[in-house]
Amino acid sequence: MQPPNKHYLTLTTGVALLLATAQVNATDHTVNLRISGGNSFQSKNDVQTPNTDAGTRFSLYDAAGEGPAIATRFEMNWNFKTRHNMRVMLAPLTLTESVTFDQPIRFAGESFSANQQLNASYQFNSWRVGYHYTAIQNDRANLQIGATLKLRDAEIRLEQGSTIGVDDDLGLVPLLYIAGKYHLNDKWAVGADLDGLAGGPGRAIDLGLTIDYSITERWRVGTDFRVLEGGADVEQVYNFAQFNSAAISVSTSF
């Protein structure tokens, strides 16, 4: 087992800070926390770096299979004023596999031999902050609409002996946000949420479905099903991937 990397340490630190923030504000405002953990499976992952004749297009899904990768997610929603909410979300994701390609691969300025094992790593960490407005709020249902600013921390790495090719990307992506929940009764609720935007050379879609069961007035357990899909088609890189995850969640309110 590999030791925790810097991104999981970042997640742990962020959780601690946000929990502290939640307790500071709990006396005056409503804070909702949700932590989930499970497995994520890739169903598509096409790569070419650079996206020119100097790079080879290949499928990490065909070479490495579906996974799984460990999927964790931490989300805090703070209702700081009637119908007005702030949201912070942390979601690291890394898949590492040993693969063999049946053709030579040119990737990120390096050449990799066919029919020889190499290590392939795909990282897509997502750190987000956003605002949303509660458009509908009643005893049964609620609906939020807003916007999210995502910090995309992505890296594709191939290693074969001493040859290492790396394509990394750190950038900000604006997304639209919509989420809703419907209470079937006093115990059960179903929900859905979407962070997404499409257009130009790429797209980003994060769609989730949730089922929650209330243990007490403040504590809930549930299941999360999520599809993460998107990518970019620019001169520097071509990459479109899809990951499907299932997780168990625990949530609480202050």
- CA-nearest of 15, 64, 39, 10 to 226 is 39
Structure tokens belonging to residue 58: 């290949």
Apex 227 CA angle, 181 and 106, nearest 5: 160
Residue ranges covered by each domain of the chain: 6-253
Q: Which distant-in-sequence residues (6+ apart) come within 8 Å of 239 by Cβ?
A: 45, 46, 47, 48, 49, 156, 231, 232
- CA-nearest of 192, 194, 203, 196 to 233 is 203
Confidence at residue 200, expressed as pLDDT on a 0 to 100 scale? 80
**Assigned architecture for domain 6-253:** Beta Barrel (2.40)
Residue 129 phi, psi dihedral angles, 5° rounding: -140, 140
Residue range 28-87, pLDDT digits in tens: 459 999 999 999 999 999 999 999 999 999 999 999 999 999 999 999 999 999 999 999
What global pTM score does this model have? 0.85
